[in-house]
Structures are given as C-alpha cells and as structure tokens.
Amino acid sequence: MTDRTPGATPPAVPGTTPVGTGTGRPAPEPFGARLRRAMDTRGPLCVGIDPHGSLLTAWGLDDDVAGLERFTRTTVEALADRVAVLKPQSAFFERFGSRGVAVLEKAVAEARAAGALVLMDAKRGDIGSTMDAYARTYLAPESPLFSDAVTLSPYLGFGSLRPALDAAAAAGSGVFVLALTSNPEGAEVQRATAADGRSLARVMLDHLAAENAGATPLGSAGAVVGATLGDVGADLAINGPLLAPGIGAQGATPADLPRVFGAAVGDVVPSVSRGVLRHGPDVSALREAALRFADEVRTAVAGG
C-alpha cells in the first residue's frame, strides 16, 4: 500500500522500459503506458513550473537568472520525486536567453532523474524542416532538452505535426495537441467549422484518436482541453491523455473534472501551477499542496 503521509516519497516511476522490437534492438516503453503508471502510483496531477516575475518576487527572489535558478531548483527538489508530471513553461526560461535555457536544461534532466515525467510546454507548430527541428529539440534523446512529452499547436494543419509525432513514437515520448483551450480567443479557431461540418477542435480530436488506435493501456498522443470550459460539447474519448490546465488560480477545481470530461475523466491529467507554486519557497508546503491537489483529483475521478 502506498504511503500517503504528507512528505512521504512515492515509488519511483521508471523513465523507460525496453520492450522487444523484433529487430534485436530494445525500444523505449511508450509514453502513454509510462504516464498511466505514473498517475496510478503518484497521483493524477501535473504541476507547472511557471517562473512568472510576480512569483519570483513573492518567493523573495529577484527577477533575474539567479532568481530563476533558485525558484526552479527548489520546485524540482520539492516535487520531482513525488508528482507524476512536471510541466516547465519554456517561455519563462527563454526570456533570459541562453542562461535561462541552461537552467531549463538542468531542470529537465534533474526532474527526469528523480522519476517525474517532464512535459515541455512549448506549444510549437510549424511545417517541414522547421517542425522537424522543433521535434529534434524536444523529442530526440540526444538533445539537452529531451522531454517525455511536448505541447504542440496544430493550426497549420494536423499533418504538419508529423515530424514530431514520428519522433515521439521513436523515442517513447508523447505529444499534447491544442484542441479546446480555455482562453476566450481560442474559440474563433477551434470552434470554426471545417468543410465537412466538423469543428476544427473535433477534427484534431479525431486525428488524435486515429494516432492512438489500438494502444494500451493509453495512447501517447494527447489533447489539451481546458478544465474551465464547462460543457465542452465534444466526445473526448481519444484513447489518449487529456491535459487539463486551469485547476487552481484559473478558477477550476478537481470537483469540476467529471462534469467537463465525462466518461473520459479517468484519462485526464489535471494541471495546476500557481495553486501549488504560491506555497513556496517552503519545500514542505509545496509538497503538501501538490499532495492535496492529487488527492482531491483522485476523489473527484472516483466519484465521477
């Protein structure tokens, strides 16, 4: 039985497990399987690493590279050995240039070494060789920013994401594709109607379902669906994970998840950032906040 005492360290979740490929070479275990195990053992929760200037100030840190490094190191130390997923927001590191990216590289490596799955929140979307370069940045095992998954924007056409989808499959990584986001501006694109009458969000969800066909226990191609949307008006059963930002400071609560996600609630990866991070820089307080959210999500999903 897992020790659920605040501050207790959950069991480690291995990063990859070799499986047979039929070629004599081991292949990495797919992200979907690793994510399912991580959520089952550590709790269904993703915590964002979002070093806003205001959060750095609230922690008593300067809004500079030294403050960024201290903030990030403390968050990784507090959470990487006990939460299922850590989600660094790349933009908050990139704003400091190469020194900020160096902090991000170290955070990714240390979080993965401690057993957390790292989801790089980069929202990349492009075509051809440029998309291939983004894929190599986040999904090639030799890259210093190699992550377990990355967020992608599909609105240059889902097919434009193929380099990232193929790179993720080869590396045992995953992707989370923007489908139904919670920002008000998103509706003008995501709710628009395609030539066949489907909404563009529905088109993206259908593509993801096709990518995940036959995968067990969970596919590796996920969708981003805002937890603040209420009735999304769409079937979310894509046999893949559903990243649900908006828990905590943005107004959604774990109790909202069954209403928003319906029968797919068991595949939801709720994401909280400020709701946990505001409890820093105290390591114990960060851990207790994350544990509390994970337990609330477990209760909501079980009741849903």
- Is 123 a catalytic site residue? yes
At 129-188, the pLDDT tens digits run: 999 999 999 999 999 999 999 999 999 999 999 999 999 999 999 999 999 998 889 999
Q: In terms of Cα–Cα distance, which of 171, 128, 177 is closest to 150?
A: 177
CA 229-39-155 angle, to 5 degrees, is 45
CA 159-162-164 angle, to 5 degrees, is 135
Position 233 scores a pLDDT of 66
CA separation for the pair 133, 291 (Å, rounded): 37
Question: Is residue 5 a part of any domain in this protein?
Answer: no
Question: Is residue 35 a part of any domain in this protein?
Answer: yes
Which of these is catalytic: 73, 112, 123, 278?
A: 123
Question: Is residue 191 a part of any domain in this protein?
Answer: yes
H or E, element range at 112: helix 98-113
- pLDDT of 44 over the 90 cut: yes
Domain of residue 122 covers 31-154+172-251+269-303
Question: Is residue 159 a part of any domain in this protein?
Answer: no
Question: Is residue 230 a part of any domain in this protein?
Answer: yes
Peptide bond into 254 cis (omega under 30): no
Mean pLDDT throughout 225-236?
83
Assigned token pair, 178: 């923007």
Question: Is residue 220 a part of any domain in this protein?
Answer: yes
CA separation for the pair 222, 168 (Å, rounded): 12
Question: Is residue 281 a part of any domain in this protein?
Answer: yes
Question: Is residue 214 a part of any domain in this protein?
Answer: yes
Mean pLDDT throughout 10-17?
45
Question: pLDDT category, 6, cuts 50, 70, 90?
Answer: very low
191: domain CATH number?
3.20.20.70
**Do the Cβ atoms of 230 and 259 come closer than 8 Å?**
yes
CA separation for the pair 132, 164 (Å, rounded): 7
Question: pLDDT category, 19, cuts 50, 70, 90?
Answer: very low
Q: What's the first-to-final CA gap in the chain, in angstroms?
A: 23
How crowded is residue 187: how many other Cβ atoms within 10 Å of its Cβ?
Answer: 15
Q: How many domains does the chain have?
A: 1
Q: Could you tell me the pTM of the whole model?
A: 0.91
At 256-297, the pLDDT tens digits run: 999 999 999 999 999 999 999 999 999 999 999 999 999 999
